């Protein structure tokens, strides 16, 4: 499960008024790409969904893909020539052998029962790859698969799959399957509050939610998130063995605010302050460098991690989703949505970097930010050990920040999707143009 504070930490940055390239792309999508002409000479997407041509490069006919690739997760992970064909959109992607979807192609696919059935099978293929399954074809309702834990772990760590999801959602809207989008987003949000897929938070708020064409659907998803966040907060307050007083919280904020204005809004007010329609930039940014890691992260090996006692050392709280590891002492404490023992420990020891056992996210109390584990070497090294312990498999994504560098800004052109830097190139890719 996810505590309210962590889920709505996206509002920390405050509103940014500059309209991003990604926001403009979303608006064009929702408005039906005004001014974009339909080229009747382009038919490859229709031909592919009519099972007349294979996808390129190194692909296959769509019926064979559905029959032979289902459950072949390595193939689906590392093959990069099929996704633009399975889910064509009206924008040019990174596969130069694919073509943008034309309106006449979408109409032809939707009008043909077999072709449209293939679109749904493509969706089911990727849902299984992500650890989900379609349980109701009429409503689009989803559920977990038997292998959901490992598949969720892969989705959380594979940035290019977040880009694929954006493309999939856009394609559903072009194929008369707009009603499938909201159940997908509700499922993702629910799983975040169960302690899974929290690495997808930024994509959910900034790229996936905005592609819902119906404003009421977007509002309903946001209301659902606020409602379950509020319920989670109430449940956590009831379970608190030793609540932290307001004075303690203010003292903590004073110590680490570095002169910043203290936050006094509730999580619901913070979420309302972030307008996801006009301000997709006002969400969580992962810090790609941190001056505190060298003194506050001590590495452990797998055996030491295995022998740790996974409950709060002070109050005995044992719910994994709200337990944090002091990365300097390797002691475990509960978060601020339980009894706040991690805050007290930080105040007393000065240790400022902690890792959440629920989703393996890293937080620096002095920087007041989550840390990008792919960009900071010591964070990545610690993350790799804990990932192996939690999921029984190595991290699927390699370190992106350079050799043995602890705190430096990432080089130009070496950007990670989880941080969603607002460059023109990354914004273009985030909207599904992969």
Regarding whether 162 and 52 lie in a shared domain, the answer is yes
Mean pLDDT of 154-158: 85
- Same domain? 225 vs 308: no
Same domain, 99 and 227: yes
pLDDT reading at 104 higher than 80 = yes
Instruction: Print the domain residue range for 337.
Output: 302-396
Q: Which of 52-61, 97-106, 193-202, 229-238 has the lowest mean pLDDT?
A: 229-238
Return d(Cα 330, Cα 333) in angstroms, integer.
10
Cα torsion 371, 181, 48, 129 to 10°: value is: 50
Domain presence at residue 10: no
Q: Is 18 left (phi over 0), alpha (psi -120 to 50) or beta?
A: beta
pLDDT band at 287 (very low <50, low <70, confident <90, very high): confident
Percentage of the chain beyond pLDDT 90 is 47
Backbone angles phi, psi at 397, to 5 degrees: -110, 130
123 in a domain, yes or no? yes
Higher local confidence (pLDDT), 44 or 392: 44
Classify residue 258 as left (phi > 0), alpha (psi -120 to 50) or beta: left
Task: Write down which residue in 180, 207, 235 finishes a domain.
Answer: 235
Distance (Å, whole) CA 29 – CA 427 = 14
Q: How far is CA 218 from the centre of its chain?
A: 17
Pairwise CA distance, residues 374 & 415, whole Å:
10
Give the model's pLDDT for residue 357: 86
Alpha-carbon gap, residue 180 to 208, rounded angstroms: 13
Judge contact between 420 and 208, C-beta under 8 A.
no
Q: What is the C-alpha separation between 345 and 333, in angstroms, rounded?
A: 8
What confidence tier does 432 reach under pLDDT thresholds 50, 70, 90? low
Query: Is residue 427 pLDDT above 50, yes or no?
Result: no
pLDDT of residue 420: 36
Residues 316 and 207 in one domain: no
Does the bond joining 57 to the residue before it have cis omega, within 30 degrees of 0?
yes
d(CA 364, CA 349): 14
- Residue identified by tokens 């939707």 is 110
Report how far residue 121's alpha carbon sits from residue 177's, in angstroms, rounded to the nearest whole number: 12
123 plus 218 within the same structural domain:
yes
**Same-domain status, 125 and 43:** yes
Same domain, 211 and 352: no
Nearest residue to 165 (alpha-carbon basis) of 228, 206, 208: 208
The β-bridge partners of 144 are 132
Q: Which residues make beta-bridge pairs with 334?
A: 323
**191 is written with which tokens?**
């799983």
Counts for the chain of helices (H) and strands (E), in that order: 20, 7
4 burial (CB, 10 Å; 0-12 / 13-18 / 19+) is buried
Q: Are residues 231 and 361 in the same domain?
A: no
Mean pLDDT of the chain: 78
Is residue 229 within 8 Å of 7, Cβ to Cβ?
A: yes
174 and 311 share one domain = no
Q: Is 363 helix (H, G, I), strand (E, B) or coil?
A: strand
Tokens linked to 157 = 């760590």
Give the residue from 93, 433, 130 showing the smallest Cα distance to 122: 130
Confidence of residue 236 (pLDDT cuts 50, 70, 90): low
- Residue 43 domain-assigned (yes or no): yes
Please count the structural domains in the chain. Answer: 2
Q: Which residues are CB-contacts of 42 (< 8 A; sequence separation ≥ 6)?
A: 99, 100, 102, 105
Q: What is the mean pLDDT of residues 8-23?
A: 49
Q: Is residue 329 part of a domain?
A: yes
Indicate if 326 and 228 belong to the same structural domain: no
Q: Residue 268 domain-assigned?
A: no
**188 vs 198: CA distance, rounded Å:** 9
Farthest CA pair distance, the chain: 70
**Residue 274, in any domain of the structure:** no
Name the least confident of 9-13, 101-105, 379-383: 9-13
Q: Answer whether residue 117 is part of any domain.
A: yes
Q: CA 54, CA 44: separation in Å to the nearest integer?
A: 9
What strands, in cross-sheet order, belong to the sheet with 323-326?
Answer: 332-334, 323-326, 353-356, 362-364, 369-371
Across the strands, what pairs with 142?
Answer: 134
Q: Among 72-86, 152-166, 406-420, which stretch is predicted with the lowest mean pLDDT?
A: 406-420
- Contact between 328 and 351 under an 8 Å Cβ cutoff? The reply is yes
| Mean pLDDT to the nearest integer, 340-352 | 93
Q: Tell me the CATH number at 330.
A: 3.30.40.10
Q: What is the DSSP string of 332-344?
A: EEE-TTTT-HHHH
Q: How confident is the model at residue 338 (pLDDT cuts 50, 70, 90)?
A: confident
The better pLDDT of the pair 63, 27 is held by: 63
User: Residue 73 — very low, low, confident or very high, per pLDDT cuts 50/70/90?
Assistant: very high
212 plus 319 within the same structural domain:
no
pLDDT digits (tens, 9 = 90+) for 359-403: 788 999 998 888 988 889 999 999 999 888 887 778 766 776 654
Together in a domain, 318 and 227: no
Distance from C-alpha of 270 to C-alpha of 114, rounded to nearest angstrom: 47
Closest CA to 48 of 3, 95, 16, 8: 95
- Of 235, 265, 280, the domain-final residue: 235
Which among 187, 210, 235 is the end of a domain? 235
Indicate whether 381 belongs to any domain.
Answer: yes
Radius of gyration from C-alpha coordinates of the chain: 22
With cut-offs at 50, 70 and 90, classify the pLDDT of residue 238: low
Burial of 247 (0-12, 13-18, 19+ CB in 10 A): exposed
Q: pLDDT (tens digit, 9 = 90+) per residue, 253-274?
A: 333 233 333 333 333 343 344 4
Q: Confidence band (pLDDT; 50, 70, 90) for 289?
A: very high
Backbone angles phi, psi at 326, to 5 degrees: -70, 110
Global pTM reads: 0.58
**CB count in 10 Å sphere of residue 364:** 22
- Angle CA(248)–CA(252)–CA(258) in degrees, nearest 5? 150
């Amino acid at each position: 499960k996810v505590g309210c504070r962590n889920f709505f930490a996206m509002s920390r940055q405050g509103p940014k008024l500059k309209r991003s390239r990604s926001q403009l792309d979303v608006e064009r999508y929702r408005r039906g790409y005004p001014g974009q002409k339909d080229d009747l000479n382009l038919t490859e997407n229709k031909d592919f969904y009519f099972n007349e041509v294979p996808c390129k490069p190194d692909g296959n006919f769509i019926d064979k893909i559905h029959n032979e690739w289902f459950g072949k997760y390595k193939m689906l992970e590392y093959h990069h020539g099929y996704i633009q064909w399975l889910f064509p959109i009206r924008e040019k992607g990174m596969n130069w052998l694919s073509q943008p979807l034309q309106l006449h192609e979408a109409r032809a696919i939707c009008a043909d029962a077999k072709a449209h059935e293939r679109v749904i099978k493509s969706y089911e293929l990727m849902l299984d790859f992500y650890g989900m399954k379609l349980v109701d074809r009429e409503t689009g309702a989803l559920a977990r698969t038997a292998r959901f834990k490992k598949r969720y772990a892969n989705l959380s760590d594979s940035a290019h799959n977040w880009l694929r999801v954006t493309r999939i959602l856009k394609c559903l809207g072009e194929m008369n399957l707009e009603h499938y989008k909201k159940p997908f987003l509700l499922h993702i949000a629910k799983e975040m509050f169960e302690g899974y897929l929290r690495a997808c938070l930024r994509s959910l708020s900034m790229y996936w939610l905005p592609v819902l064409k119906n404003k009421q659907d977007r509002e309903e998803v946001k209301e659902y998130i606020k409602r379950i966040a509020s319920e989670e907060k109430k449940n956590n307050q009831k379970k608190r063995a030793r609540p932290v007083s307001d004075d303690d919280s203010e003292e903590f904020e004073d110590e680490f605010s570095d002169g910043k204005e203290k936050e006094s809004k509730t999580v619901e007010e913070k979420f309302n302050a972030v307008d996801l329609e006009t301000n997709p930039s006002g969400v969580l940014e992962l810090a790609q460098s941190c001056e505190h890691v060298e003194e506050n992260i001590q590495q452990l090996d797998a055996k030491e991690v295995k022998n740790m006692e996974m409950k709060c050392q002070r109050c005995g709280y044992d719910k994994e989703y709200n337990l944090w590891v002091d990365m300097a002492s390797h002691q475990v404490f509960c978060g601020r949505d339980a009894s706040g023992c991690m805050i007290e420990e930080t105040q007393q020891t000065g240790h400022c970097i902690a890792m959440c056992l629920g989703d393996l996210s890293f937080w620096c109390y002095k920087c007041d930010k989550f840390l990008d584990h792919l960009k900071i070497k010591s964070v990545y090294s610690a993350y790799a050990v804990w990932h192996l312990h939690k999921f029984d498999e190595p991290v699927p994504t390699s370190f992106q920040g350079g050799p043995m560098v602890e705190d430096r800004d990432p080089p130009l052109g070496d950007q990670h999707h989880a941080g969603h830097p607002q460059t023109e190139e990354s914004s273009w890719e985030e909207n599904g143009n992969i």
